[in-house]
Structure 1
C-alpha cells in the first residue's frame, strides 16, 4: 500500500484534460468526451447504506503498526489525537488542545465526553495504553521511529508525552493513522489489537472478511455529530479496471483510483462526480552521482535540459499527472505550482560536449524502473526517446523493485525512475529531506552530498513555527534543483468517482473517506 501522508485534501478539482483530445480519438467506444458538470447536491437519504470499492486492502490483519492503519482511518472507524489541516498544521481530534511544557515534554488535553464503540470512556489511561502498544512493537511505525516517546497520564483527561530529544513536530507525528487510539479491550490479547468495535470514529467496524470486505454501522454516539449513513459496505478491489467496472455497473457508489480512460469516460457521465486531487508523490529520475558519468554536474544538467516534463505529463501520461519543476508539488502548501523550464536539446548537447561526450565518444547509460506502478515504464520509454535526441543512449530494464533495491542503494546503477511519497507518514518534509538527500541519508539514491544542503536542513530541529519550516523546505528544494540532483518528472494525482453521494471529497493522503457528513442521495 502506498502511504500518502499529506495534509488533509485541498479542495477537489476536476482533472484538467491536458491529453483529452488524443484519448478521445482512441476511445472510439465512448459516446462523447465532453466533461459533465459536478453531480447535483441532492438530498440525503435518511439511514442510507453506501457501498465503496477501496483501492488498498489490509495486508496484516488490521495491525495498527502497519499500513493497515490507513484502512481503519479511511473507513471511519479509528481516529487519532490530532489531524492535519489543509495548510499542514495540526488540528484537534481526540485531543482538544495541546501545549509544549518544555523542550522535551508536551501535554495533550483530551476532548471531553468521547466514548469508544464499546462504550468505554476515552480517558488518559486508555490513550497511554494505545500509544505504549504502538511505540513498543519491534518495528515502530515510520512516524514514530527514533522518537523515544514516553507517555504518562496527567489526571484523567490529559496525557504528557516526553520525547528523547526536542521534537517541534510531535503533534504532526500524532496525525499518523498508526497512532490511532483504540479501547483498552483491544489490547488484551497477545497479537495485534482487536479492531472490531473498539474505535471512536463515525462508523463502528462490525465485520471483516479478510482482504475481501468490511461492514460498518453508524456510531450513534459519535462526538462529531450523528453520522448521516446507517451502514457502509466496503470491498477491497486491487485491480483499477475492476474498480471501474464495478462502478459503471452500479455495484458501488464510490470507487477509488480509476484508470485514466475510465476517468475520462466518467467525467462525461451525468450525475457522476469525478474528483482529482494532487498527491504528495513525485516520480523522479534519480542519477547516481557517486560514479561517472553523473558525478559530473554538466552531464546531470544535460539530462535536466533534455527532458520535456510537460510532455511527459500531458502526452505520455495523457494528463494523469502534473509536470514537476522541483521535488514538492501542488499537494502541499510549500510546493511549487510553477511549470518546469522548457527543454533545450541544443544546450544539453553543448553540456555533453563540454564533458567529453559526442559522436566520437557517445554516452550510453542504463535506465532502470519497475512495473508496480504502471506509469513508470511509460515514462521510462518517453525519457529514453528524449535523451536520445540529446545524444544519450539508454538501455531500459524494467524489473520488480525488490530485485533492484540493493543495487540502487549501493550506487551500482546509472539512472532510476522511482515514485516516492515525499511526506513519509507525517505532513512535514523533514523526514524525506534528511533520509533522501543529506550526506548521511539512509535512502540517498542519488548519492548526493552537499554541505550547503545539509546546512539548510540542519535548521529544522529547532524550527517549530510552520511558516519557518516551510521556508526551509522551499530552500532545500531549490538547492536540489541548482545542484541538478536528479530530475523530478511529474507529480502524481489521485482520483475517485462518486454517484448519488454528498459530503464526499477525494483525499490524497489516504486518511479520510468515510466521514459523519458522507451521505447517500436519491
Structure 2
C-alpha cells in the first residue's frame, strides 16, 4: 500500500491541473545567486511517470533511484566501471559464486540496519517474481547470508558481470518491513538520501531528507516530483519558474533555455538507438542486397539534423557516443544510385517496384516523424513503404513471429546494465528472445558466446565493437540516430543529466538563491 499524498495546494489530475498547481505554488523565476539555500525544496517536472505502482521489479524502479529513494549493492557508469554502493567490496569465489561485503553503518528509512538477511529477502524477492526484470532474468540467482556482514550470490551458470547487474535499479535493497505482505512497499523502506513519504498515483511523489543517510546529510530538505507526460507542459512550468528542473524537453523548447537565458541546459548522449529493422525471415528482406539498398537510401544525417531538428545524432552503427566502445565517426552518406543498382540486381526497378509495410509506434513522439522521412527517402530509390503507426504492445507478437516487413524501433542497448552483452544476445543471436530482425549467424553467435567467460571490461568492449561491425556488414537493420537526453534547471547546483537515467537527486544537489 502506498501512503496517500497530502495536498500541497490543489489536487493534480491532468496536465492543466499541473500547470494550475505550479502557478499557484511556484516561487517565481528569479536569477540564482549561486548560494545554496539551507533546507531547500526541489521541484521536478519528471519525464516518465510510474506505470506499475512503483513495483521494484519493473521500470518504475528507475524513478525511485532517480529521486534518491533507493540504492543497490553497486553503482556503475556507462563505461562499465563498477563502484561500491551498499556493498563496499566483492570478490569472485568460484565461477558461479560472488561474495559481497556490506557497507557498515547503513540504515534503512524505517530505522532498521542493513543486514545480510535484508539483502537475501530483497534479492530473493526480485529474482523470484513471475517475470524477473531484464538485468536479472534467466540467471538462476540464489542469495544466502555469509557471516555477519556479507552475502554470497550464486548463478546457475558463470556470469562475469554479476557486479554490474547488482547496480540495476531493480536490484535495489529495501528494508525487510517492505515485504510484510503483497507487493513490496517502497514508502519509507529505502536507503537513499531522500525518504519517499507519499505518492499520488501517476501524478506526484514527495520525498524528505533522510538525516541518517550513510553518505552524509543531504543538502535538500524536500523533493517534489510531478510527472508530466507532455514535454511542452514541462517547458511551460520551467519557464514560469514553477519547477526547478524539467527533464526531456523538445528541441524547440531548448532554444529558449540557451546560454545567457539564466537557465542551465544540459544535453548528453544516451545509450539508445533508433533503428530501422527489416524482417530477414521472409522476402524481400531475406535478400541482403535489398537490405543493403535500404541502408544506402537512408540519409541519417538529414534525419538527425533536419527531421529531428538536431535533437539526436546520426548513427553509423548500433553503438554511439554514449559509451566507450561506440563509434564516433560520421554516418555514411546516402548513395541513391548505388541503392537503385542493388535493387535492380535483386529484380526490382521501375517495372517491378518494391512495396513494403513500414511499422512504428507513437509512444516516442520522434518515431512517426522519422517514419515519414524514411518513407520519402525510400521512395527516391524505388521502394514504396506504407506507414502503419500502432500500439507497440499490439505489434510485438507479430514482430517476434516475423509477420512484418520493416519496423522503426527505439531501443536502449544497455538494458539496465552498463554492458552490451545482453542486448547482443537477445536481439541478434539465433535463439535471441528479442530477435525482431530474425538474424541468425553462427559466426555472430560464436563471437557473443565468448562473453560468457570474459571478465575483463576492455576485452568485452572489443567484442561489442566486432559485433557491431558484423551487423553493419550484413545490413542487419539500419541504425538511424542515437538519442540525446536533456535536462534544464534554474536555481539549482550539483545537477547533471545521467545518460543511464539512474541518478538525479544526490546528497550534493541543492537549491540556490
Question: What is the TM-score of this pair, normalised by structure 1?
Answer: 0.90
Q: Which residue of 2 aligns with 1:34?
A: none
From 344, 350, 353, give the equivalent of 1:353. Answer: 344
Q: Distance in 2 between matches of 1:167 and 1:337?
A: 30
From 459, 463, 466, give the equivalent of 1:475. Answer: 466
1:163-178 mapped onto 2 (5 Å cutoff): 163-178=155-170
Q: Using the TM superposition, give the Cα deviation of residue 107 of structure 1 relative to its aligned residue in structure 2, in angstroms.
A: 0.4
1:504-515 mapped onto 2 (5 Å cutoff): 504-515=495-506
1:412-451 mapped onto 2 (5 Å cutoff): 412-451=403-442
Q: Which residue of 1 aligns with 2:187?
A: 196
From 103, 106, 109, give the equivalent of 1:111. Answer: 103
Q: Distance in 2 between matches of 1:260 and 1:135?
A: 40
From 120, 123, 135, give the equivalent of 1:128. Answer: 120
From 197, 208, 227, give the equivalent of 1:236. Answer: 227
Q: Using the TM superposition, give the Cα deviation of residue 60 of structure 1 relative to its aligned residue in structure 2, in angstroms.
A: 2.0
Answer whether contact 1:286 1:415 (CA < 8 A) is retained.
Answer: yes
Q: Distance in 1 between matches of 2:112 and 2:397?
A: 48
Q: Using the TM superposition, give the Cα deviation of residue 112 of structure 1 relative to its aligned residue in structure 2, in angstroms.
A: 1.1
Q: Is it true that 1:409 corresponds to 2:410 in the alignment? A: no
Q: Which residue of 2 aligns with 1:322?
A: 313
Q: Which residue of 1 aligns with 2:447?
A: 456
Q: Using the TM superposition, give the Cα deviation of residue 402 of structure 1 relative to its aligned residue in structure 2, in angstroms.
A: 2.2
1:280-291 mapped onto 2 (5 Å cutoff): 280-291=271-282
Q: Is it true that 1:159 corresponds to 2:155 in the alignment? A: no
Answer whether contact 1:41 1:502 (CA < 8 A) is retained.
Answer: no
Q: Distance in 1 between matches of 2:287 and 2:171?
A: 44
Q: Which residue of 2 aligns with 1:143?
A: 135
Q: Distance in 2 between matches of 1:115 and 1:407?
A: 48
Q: Distance in 2 between matches of 1:157 and 1:149?
A: 20
1:179-194 mapped onto 2 (5 Å cutoff): 179-188=171-180, 190-194=181-185
Q: Distance in 1 between matches of 2:173 and 2:260?
A: 41
Q: Using the TM superposition, give the Cα deviation of residue 235 of structure 1 relative to its aligned residue in structure 2, in angstroms.
A: 1.0
Answer whether contact 1:217 1:231 (CA < 8 A) is retained.
Answer: yes
Q: Distance in 1 between matches of 2:52 and 2:282?
A: 40
Q: Distance in 1 between matches of 2:41 and 2:122?
A: 31
Q: Which residue of 2 aligns with 1:520?
A: 511
Answer whether contact 1:229 1:520 (CA < 8 A) is retained.
Answer: yes
Q: Using the TM superposition, give the Cα deviation of residue 187 of structure 1 relative to its aligned residue in structure 2, in angstroms.
A: 1.2
Find runs of 4+ consecutive structure 1 residues off by over 4 angstroms.
none
Q: Is it true that 1:73 corresponds to 2:27 in the alignment? A: no
Q: Using the TM superposition, give the Cα deviation of residue 85 of structure 1 relative to its aligned residue in structure 2, in angstroms.
A: 2.5
Q: Is it true that 1:366 corresponds to 2:354 in the alignment? A: no
Shifted more, 341-350 versus 355-364: the winner is 355-364
From 265, 287, 290, give the equivalent of 1:299. Answer: 290
From 247, 259, 262, give the equivalent of 1:271. Answer: 262
Q: Using the TM superposition, give the Cα deviation of residue 87 of structure 1 relative to its aligned residue in structure 2, in angstroms.
A: 2.1
Deviations 1:329-355 (A, max 9, x none): 111111111111111111111111111
From 45, 51, 55, give the equivalent of 1:59. Answer: 51
Q: Distance in 2 between matches of 1:508 and 1:242?
A: 22
Answer whether contact 1:202 1:219 (CA < 8 A) is retained.
Answer: yes
Deviations 1:187-228 (A, max 9, x none): 11x212122221111111122222221111111121111111
- What RMSD over aligned residues (CA atoms) do the two structures have, in Å? 1.3
Answer whether contact 1:125 1:156 (CA < 8 A) is retained.
Answer: no
Q: Distance in 2 between matches of 1:480 and 1:509?
A: 24
Q: Distance in 2 between matches of 1:94 and 1:405?
A: 37
Q: Using the TM superposition, give the Cα deviation of residue 41 of structure 1 relative to its aligned residue in structure 2, in angstroms.
A: 8.0
Q: Using the TM superposition, give the Cα deviation of residue 403 of structure 1 relative to its aligned residue in structure 2, in angstroms.
A: 2.5
Unpaired segments ≥5 residues, structure 2: 1-30
Q: Distance in 2 between matches of 1:159 and 1:434?
A: 29
Q: Distance in 1 between matches of 2:369 and 2:206?
A: 38
Q: Distance in 2 between matches of 1:138 and 1:368?
A: 30
Q: Using the TM superposition, give the Cα deviation of residue 270 of structure 1 relative to its aligned residue in structure 2, in angstroms.
A: 2.0
Answer whether contact 1:309 1:340 (CA < 8 A) is retained.
Answer: yes
Q: Is it true that 1:215 corresponds to 2:206 in the alignment? A: yes
Q: Distance in 1 between matches of 2:128 and 2:404?
A: 37
Answer whether contact 1:329 1:491 (CA < 8 A) is retained.
Answer: yes
Q: Distance in 1 between matches of 2:136 and 2:79?
A: 22
Count of residues paired in the alignment: 483
SS in 2 for 1:63: coil
Answer whether contact 2:77 2:418 (CA < 8 A) is retained.
Answer: no
1:371-410 mapped onto 2 (5 Å cutoff): 371-410=362-401
Q: Using the TM superposition, give the Cα deviation of residue 40 of structure 1 relative to its aligned residue in structure 2, in angstroms.
A: 7.2
Question: What is the TM-score of this pair, normalised by structure 2?
Answer: 0.92
Deviations 1:290-327 (A, max 9, x none): 22221111111111111110010000100000100000
Q: Distance in 1 between matches of 2:384 and 2:217?
A: 61
Q: Distance in 2 between matches of 1:254 and 1:377?
A: 28
Deviations 1:432-455 (A, max 9, x none): 111111111121111111111111
Cα distance, 1:261–1:366 mapped onto 2, change above 3 Å: same
Q: Is it true that 1:491 corresponds to 2:491 in the alignment? A: no
Q: Using the TM superposition, give the Cα deviation of residue 172 of structure 1 relative to its aligned residue in structure 2, in angstroms.
A: 0.8
Q: Using the TM superposition, give the Cα deviation of residue 123 of structure 1 relative to its aligned residue in structure 2, in angstroms.
A: 1.5
